[in-house]
Amino acid sequence: MKNIKLALITLIFLVVNACKVSEPKPPSVITEPEPPTTEVAVIEEKDTVKKITLSPYVNYQSSREHETDLIHTKLAVSFDWEKQYLNGTATLELKPWFYKMSNVTLDAKGFDIHSVKLVEARSKKDLKYDYDNAKLVIDLGRAYSRDENYFVEIKYTAKPNELPKGGSAAITEDKGLYFINADGSDTDKPQQIWTQGETEASSKWFPTIDAPNEKMTQEIYMTVKDEFTTLSNGVLVYSKKNSGGTRTDYWKMDLPHAPYLVMMAVGKFAVVKDSWKSSKGNIPVNYYVEPEYEQYAKAIFGNTPEMMTYFSDLLGYEYVWPKYSQIVVRDYVSGAMENTTASIFMEQLQMTDVELIDGNMEDVIAHELFHHWFGDLVTCESWSNLPLNESFADYSEYLWQEYKLGVDAADYHNQVGMDGYLAESQEKQVDMIRFEYNSQEDMFDAHSYSKGGRILHMLRKYVGDDAFFASLQHYLKKNEFKSVEIHDLRIAFEAITGEDLNWFFSQWFLSAGHPIIDVKHSYKEGVLTVDVAQLQNIENTPVYKLPLKIDVWASDKLTSYPVVIQATEEKFEFAMAEKPQLVLFDGDQQLLGVINHPKSLEENIYQYYNSGKFLSRYNALENMMSDTTAVNKIQEVFANALDDPFWVIRDEALNMFENYEGDFKDDIVAKIKKMATDDKKSLVRATAVEVLSSIVGADAGDVMAKAIEDKSNTVKGAALGALLRTEGAEKDKIIAKYQDSDDVQIISTLAVYFAEEEDYSKNDWFLKSIEVLKGPDLYYYLQSYAALLTKAPMEATTKAAPKLIDMARNASMDFIRLAAYGCLNAIPETEELKATKLDIRANETSERLKRYYSQMGG
């Protein structure tokens, strides 16, 4: 699953701090409650208290015990849109795992069970069963041995809306089966049905053994109104029209996978066909989007076949499944999900050609595709081992960027992931492989994703590319169609490299925290001394063994010294004829952790020009920003950095020139003007527009006039903001021209401006525009609206309240509910509103938000 929300929350957390936007802050990261202690007090006779220590396995979250093996699932389903029910017949092929069994226990949550039968060659026989609304225990009538397969048929009705709500930070709900706009009353929204199985919600729409260490093949017969398209795992064998305007689609999946990967979708979709050339011939690659996005589907998803080739080649293991479809649905409860051969995506994937100019979603596309090796083919055996799915999917984003956009872009992505983990680590530091979580949903955090991706990157740098990918190939081949735990990965790497890698896996996957390192270097009498100290708290974090390189430049020549750090304090000495120009700790810039290494201005300048890597260049600029000693020298470096080949560096350098009044101002302005219109990256053009406006204001009129006609909406938005802030501009005319735009960037810019101006006459505009925005754009928009509402007249707040209350209760993303609640907080509180807010808080289902509300108090 692509935990887009986690990424967004982390992003929002970082950006909120950066922009100094005040309340409502989203919850950043919340400390997990301590696992229960293994010491219990037992009160004995005569009031003496005796302490008893329990085995550590009392609270251990084990993988699901195999009593029965599920071999095959055949489903026939139809839908009751009015009641939002699924009527199903499930025929399961099962057998005892090892021991003789005379019953079978299935997960079946919140069903009406109509009948349970044993299916034999020529007859069906009713079976006795017990059902407690979660587990269906079927009495088989006699004991079966492990070489006896048997078939059970269950007729049932699934009622997903009548289940108690759950969910997590990653998945906002866990109903399993979702009806969207079921009664058709929302004219702006298509009618859809889709499913979300991970973690254990597939058993909310079909009876199964709902555990990641179970694997089965499947068939699904879906009966729908003929106007709808369907999608499920595997291949569409046939479609058959029925009487009464319905059609039955028969989907078949011949390769085994875990029940949480089973999916269905129903709706009116445009299906854009593509294909991928495998060694066995062409396999279908299809993109399912809403009809109005049909023309953009190839622009959004069109690199998928190239990605399939790249990942197949890199892993030495060809994409094994019979097709690959990707579908975008409404009101999805996560970012995306790697259902085998049929990945599902949130609606933010639907972008126009114009929106794609500012950035695509190929990270998410790569992530779900890579899961088809790591997750779908080889599956974590328990949620405790989730990093075996998510760390790899996360790292695929690096791999794809490295191949498609270059190593700078990938390294930047690496750093964004690291920042996400470090933000989470402020309040939560846990083992990657965790056996004592409170809820399996807690596993979907920045540890399992971002930290895991960075750990795999370090492993790759340590063993080298050849060994890394050979080890992955070995791991995939050895464990294909099976489930794994972390040791399987270690053993695969050990088999290929020949090295005992317990040290690496123990400190990174089986321990909490990260290194915090102080580095100092000095040169005296022909000797370079590098002092390294590990400063992390070693009571709960390891003293790390860190093989890395110390790169040293002298006489403009680079020498790389491999060292192994394995103590809290170490000293390295290198004989050197002259004083080095630069000492760069961790030459590969691969270490997960915090490094503090003070350098002189000359060293930072040298590092920017000579170290080559994205991170070392970026850090050199960062280090110089706070240096006030030699302003001219620093400005020269930043002026040169405006020509850096990588856009993030150019963007960073531009920010340095905000309100610039220093030397060579005319040259700098001329340069930034050119960037505002000509830079090949739209985000850099947008920054250039903003920075230019801060330096010369109205004098940049010609550039702004051009920028507001830019193809990119981000550049347009930046130019609009700059124009509105320019003295003497005809603001009413500008606003009149743009306020009916449904472009996200334009709306966001206007929202910030109206809030700053306290323009309450725009209240209706705010309420109308809410409908246009989604995801993080909506989150920021609601922040602007909250600012406006803070001092707004009663008339405006009264009008706004019903919409905001509805969003605070019902928005599908929890951070949107939070932002809407923040708007309500900005409104003067009547008794009625106070009661409503209390009720909203009481009915919140997201654990993250509940904890945040309780921290807010009141």
Neighbour count for residue 851 (Cβ, 10 Å): 15
The least CB distance from residue 722 to Zn ion, in Å, is: 39
- Of all helices (H) and strands (E), which one includes residue 474? helix 465-479
Place of tokens 């269905």: 264
Closer to Zn ion by Cβ: residue 393 or 456: 393
171 binds Zn ion (CB under 5 A): no
Site mask for Zn ion (CB under 5 A), range 511-530, x = bound = --------------------
Pairwise CA distance, residues 798 & 803, whole Å: 10
Pairwise CA distance, residues 84 & 258, whole Å: 26
Closer to Zn ion by Cβ: residue 221 or 383: 383
The least CB distance from residue 1 to Zn ion, in Å, is: 4
Q: How does DSSP classify residue 282?
A: E
The least CB distance from residue 174 to Zn ion, in Å, is: 16
Length of the chain: 858
Applying CB under 5 A, the site for Zn ion has a residue count of 3
Site mask for Zn ion (CB under 5 A), range 353-392, x = bound = -------------------------------------x--
Closer to Zn ion by Cβ: residue 8 or 675: 8
Neighbour count for residue 113 (Cβ, 10 Å): 15
Site mask for Zn ion (CB under 5 A), range 82-111, x = bound = ------------------------------
The least CB distance from residue 170 to Zn ion, in Å, is: 9
Closer to Zn ion by Cβ: residue 429 or 450: 450
Binding residue (CB under 5 A) for Zn ion from 182, 393, 418, 722: 393
- Of 656, 661, 716, whose CA–CA distance to 685 is shortest? 716
Residues 456-515 that bind Zn ion (CB under 5 A): none
Long-range pairs for 560-564: beta carbons < 8 A, 24 or more residues apart: 560/587
The two structure tokens encoding residue 325 = 């479809």
Binding residue (CB under 5 A) for Zn ion from 1, 86, 220, 264: 1
Q: Which region among 1-9, 270-278, 658-666, 786-794 touches Zn ion (by CB under 5 A)?
A: 1-9
Pairwise CA distance, residues 87 & 76, whole Å: 8
Are residues 445 and 171 in contact, defined by beta-carbon separation less than 8 angstroms? Answer: no
Closer to Zn ion by Cβ: residue 345 or 638: 345
Q: How does DSSP classify residue 536?
A: S
Pairwise CA distance, residues 504 & 508, whole Å: 6
Closer to Zn ion by Cβ: residue 194 or 296: 194
Closer to Zn ion by Cβ: residue 374 or 475: 374
The two structure tokens encoding residue 383 = 């949620």
- Of all helices (H) and strands (E), which one includes residue 524? strand 516-524
Closer to Zn ion by Cβ: residue 214 or 390: 390
Are residues 495 and 474 in contact, defined by beta-carbon separation less than 8 angstroms? Answer: yes
Burial (0-12, 13-18, 19+ Cβ within 10 Å), 848: buried
The least CB distance from residue 845 to Zn ion, in Å, is: 22
The least CB distance from residue 846 to Zn ion, in Å, is: 19
The least CB distance from residue 2 to Zn ion, in Å, is: 5
Strands 324-328 and 281-289: parallel
Burial (0-12, 13-18, 19+ Cβ within 10 Å), 123: exposed
The two structure tokens encoding residue 739 = 């306020």
The two structure tokens encoding residue 758 = 């306290």
Closer to Zn ion by Cβ: residue 106 or 393: 393
The least CB distance from residue 389 to Zn ion, in Å, is: 6
Pairwise CA distance, residues 45 & 603, whole Å: 72
The least CB distance from residue 196 to Zn ion, in Å, is: 13
The least CB distance from residue 754 to Zn ion, in Å, is: 38
Closer to Zn ion by Cβ: residue 395 or 779: 395
By beta-carbon distance, which residue lies closest to Zn ion? 393
Q: Which region among 257-265, 289-297, 393-401, 650-658 touches Zn ion (by CB under 5 A)?
A: 393-401
The least CB distance from residue 466 to Zn ion, in Å, is: 27
Closer to Zn ion by Cβ: residue 150 or 345: 345
Write the CA distances from 674 to 79, 354, 686, integer angstroms: 59, 22, 12
Binding residues for Zn ion, rule: CB under 5 A, are: 1, 390, 393
